């Protein structure tokens, strides 16, 4: 493997903010506490436990009862922001617009927000991080029914804005629509586990789900901009994830086009309608034909109207891959743009050292290129809403080994250098950074195996122990923000 290059500790702007990110189902536990309803992740992990490494989020990090301790932990890292998500089924257990509100759930998030503000930490709140109330799938197929879902999501969002919007000034509607659509409704490795093998129509479902997310997002942005923003003065947008793609053969026009097409199928799918108020990318429409839903005239009007109200681009980014054009026509349920993704190029060269996850390699140049790609296409200030990695072999380590996380420190260092270069050499606007994650947690289909935290969690005692990367980030941000470029 290639050794990561030397970390240069390049400067960042004095007002650049940093913090950590989490998601409700991954840390909270308290699965049935104080009136919480079931989400699709409760169902997914319990119905067929092998899909989540025979583990589930019933207890997770028990953040639901240890929230105060976690607030103090964050304060000890001197973070500026904390990105977390609200479990929809904790505040509206059945999820629907006519269903009862659970005041216990509202109170929990109220205490969390107050606790953050008391410690001078700004909340960044995600409304939806993959945990739709199970009831909404049972009633009408959730994301598969655009009109019903949109109406229920709007009422959930309105509840959150009216109860928390006096104190929350940064909102994200959905976390990673690509993952919800493709991993939830095509490969089925994430909840609700829909795939062709499980009897679902994976030619159609992911694109319907994506369509629903785009329109529900736009409706909620419109609501926030008209009903809440004037008095609450916050900002709202969405979080999109995506690898960067390098051509498998850099000398070939065909593979260069494949890398670009892969980015459009991953990011342009959501970014073009949401941030530009445009139809889906032309290459997508050409390849997908009638598999791709169409926006009505009113829907296009809504997208054009709300596009400028998205105040930032929320970027979750971890790694880069090679893209290789597939010979022959796309399969009838292709979702890649007819592209194969590889970890090595035509010369057998890898993108960088592999982390504790096979798909996640240290590739900071790809990160810099992705920030440039997004900036050139959407011209929005970027907030890095997630970035991080598990160390190689970390799942097998003792506590003493795990807290000495030099691999992660190097990864963070190189990725922060990439942000610095994107800002100072390329002119990209990047405003802040959230490390994934505050602490080790439930990594979805991989269960408690992979550890992404800057804090170690002992899943038997639930004891939290800071890793060296936590103090690295604290010191590094302080130094970088003092620096001259
Ligand atoms: C984020 O998703 C999530 O928001 C967060 O909840 C999660 O814990 C974190 O990342 C770490 O995984 O592309 O086929 O090689 C990232 C979603 C998961 C998408 C891994 C890509 C790799 C499989 N990514 N997946 S593949």
Give me the mean pLDDT over the 111-120 stretch: 99
The best mutation among 241, 394, 439, 440 to test binding of ligand 1, ranked by most ligand atoms within 8 Å of the C-beta, falls on: 241
* Ligand 1, CB cutoff 6 Å, lining residues: 23, 26, 175-176, 179, 241, 316, 359, 386, 436, 443, 452
Angle at 433 between CA 429 and CA 439, to 5 degrees: 170
List the 320-325 sheet strands across, edge first.
Answer: 244-247, 320-325, 339-342
Half-sphere exposure of 327 (CA within 13 A, CB side): 0
How far does residue 86's CA lie from ligand 1's centre (Å)? Answer: 19
Q: What per-residue confidence (pLDDT) applies to 1? A: 42
Tokens of 434: 């959230």
Return the SS3 of 108: helix
Alpha carbon distance, N-terminus to C-terminus of the chain:
31
Query: In this predicted model, what pLDDT tens digit does every residue of 226-274 receive, in sequence order?
Result: 999 999 999 999 999 999 999 999 999 999 999 999 999 999 999 999 9
With a CB cutoff of 8 Å and minimum separation 6, the contacts of 288 are: 207
Residue nearest to atom 12 of ligand 1 (CA): 443
Quickly count: other Cβ atoms within 10 Å of residue 162's Cβ. Answer: 12
How far does residue 179's CA lie from ligand 1's centre (Å)? Answer: 8
Ligand 1 nearest atom to the CA of residue 436, by list position: 9
How far does residue 183's CA lie from ligand 1's centre (Å)? Answer: 9
Single out the residue of 21, 372, 373 nearest to residue 170, CA to CA: 21
- Pairwise CA distance, residues 382 & 417, whole Å: 16
Active-site positions read 176, 386
The best mutation among 180, 318, 385, 442 to test binding of ligand 1, ranked by most ligand atoms within 8 Å of the C-beta, falls on: 318
Are 393 and 452 contacting, i.e. CB atoms less than 8 angstroms apart?
no
Give me the mean pLDDT over the 407-431 stretch: 98
- Pairwise CA distance, residues 411 & 51, whole Å: 29
Ligand 1 nearest atom to the CA of residue 176, by list position: 4
Tokens of 298: 């009113």
Q: Which residues pair with 436 in a beta bridge?
A: 21
Are 383 and 125 contacting, i.e. CB atoms less than 8 angstroms apart?
no
- Pairwise CA distance, residues 266 & 34, whole Å: 38
Q: List, in sequence order, every beta strand (DSSP E) within 147-271.
A: 170-175, 235-241, 244-247
Q: What per-residue confidence (pLDDT) applies to 2? A: 46
Residue 336 has pLDDT above 60, yes or no: yes
Single out the residue of 481, 476, 391 nearest to residue 77, CA to CA: 476
Residue 485 has pLDDT above 90, yes or no: no
Q: What per-residue confidence (pLDDT) applies to 4? A: 54
Q: What per-residue confidence (pLDDT) applies to 5? A: 73
What percentage of the chain has pLDDT greater than the value 70? Answer: 99
How far does residue 25's CA lie from ligand 1's centre (Å)? Answer: 15
Residue 288 has pLDDT above 70, yes or no: yes
Q: What per-residue confidence (pLDDT) applies to 129? A: 99
Query: In this predicted model, what pLDDT tens digit does every residue of 154-184 receive, in sequence order?
Result: 999 999 999 999 999 999 999 999 999 999 9
- Pairwise CA distance, residues 230 & 374, whole Å: 28
Instruction: Identify the DSSP state of 370.
Output: H
How far does residue 444's CA lie from ligand 1's centre (Å)? Answer: 9
Are 370 and 242 contacting, i.e. CB atoms less than 8 angstroms apart?
yes
Q: What per-residue confidence (pLDDT) applies to 3? A: 54
Radius of gyration of the chain (CA): 21
Residue 112 has pLDDT above 50, yes or no: yes
Query: In this predicted model, what pLDDT tens digit does every residue of 454-473 receive, in sequence order?
Result: 999 999 999 999 999 999 99
């Amino acid at each position: 493997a290639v050794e990561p290059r030397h970390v240069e500790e390049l400067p960042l702007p004095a007002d650049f903010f940093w913090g950590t990110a989490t998601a409700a189902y991954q840390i909270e536990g308290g699965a049935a506490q104080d009136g919480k309803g079931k989400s699709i992740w409760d169902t997914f992990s319990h119905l067929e436990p092998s899909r989540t490494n025979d583990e589930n989020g019933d207890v997770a990090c028990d953040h639901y009862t240890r929230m105060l301790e976690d607030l103090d932990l964050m304060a000890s890292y001197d973070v500026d922001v904390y990105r977390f998500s609200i479990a929809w089924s904790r505040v509206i257990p059945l999820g629907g617009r006519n269903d009862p509100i659970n005041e216990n759930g509202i109170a929990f998030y109220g205490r969390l927000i107050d606790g953050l503000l008391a410690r001078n930490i700004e909340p960044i709140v995600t409304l939806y991080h993959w945990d739709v109330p199970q009831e909404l799938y049972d009633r009408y197929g959730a994301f598969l029914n655009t009109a019903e879902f949109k109406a229920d999501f709007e009422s959930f969002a309105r509840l959150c804005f009216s109860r928390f919007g006096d104190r929350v000034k940064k909102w994200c509607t959905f976390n990673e629509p690509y993952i919800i659509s493709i991993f939830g409704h095509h490969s089925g490795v994430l909840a609700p586990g829909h795939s062709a093998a499980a009897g679902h129509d994976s030619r159609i479902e992911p694109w319907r789900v994506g369509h629903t997310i785009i329109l529900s997002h736009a409706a909620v942005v419109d609501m926030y901009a008209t009903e809440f923003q004037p008095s609450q003065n916050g900002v709202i947008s969405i979080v999109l994830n995506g690898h960067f793609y390098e051509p498998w053969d850099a000398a070939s026009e065909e593979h260069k086009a494949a890398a670009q097409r892969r980015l459009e199928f991953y990011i342009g799918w959501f970014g073009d309608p949401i941030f530009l108020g445009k139809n889906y990318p032309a290459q997508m429409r050409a390849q997908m034909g009638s598999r791709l839903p169409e926006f009505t005239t009113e829907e296009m009007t809504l997208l054009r109207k709300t596009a400028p109200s998205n105040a930032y681009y929320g970027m979750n980014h971890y790694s880069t891959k090679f893209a290789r054009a597939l010979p022959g026509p796309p399969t009838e349920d292709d979702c890649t743009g007819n592209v194969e993704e590889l970890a090595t190029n035509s010369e057998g060269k890898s993108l960088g050292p592999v982390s504790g996850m096979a798909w996640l390699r240290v590739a900071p140049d790809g990160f810099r290129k992705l920030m440039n790609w997004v900036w050139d296409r959407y011209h929005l200030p970027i907030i890095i809403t997630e970035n991080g990695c598990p160390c190689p072999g970390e799942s097998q380590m003792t506590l003493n080994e795990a807290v000495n996380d030099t691999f992660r420190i190097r990864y963070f260092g190189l990725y922060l250098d990439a942000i610095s270069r994107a800002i100072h050499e390329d002119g990209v606007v990047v405003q802040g950074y959230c490390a994934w994650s505050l602490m080790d947690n439930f990594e979805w289909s991989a269960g408690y195996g992979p550890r992404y935290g800057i804090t170690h969690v002992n899943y038997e005692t639930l004891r939290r122990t800071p890793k060296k990367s936590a103090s690295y980030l604290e010191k590094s941000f302080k130094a970088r923000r003092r620096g001259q470029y």
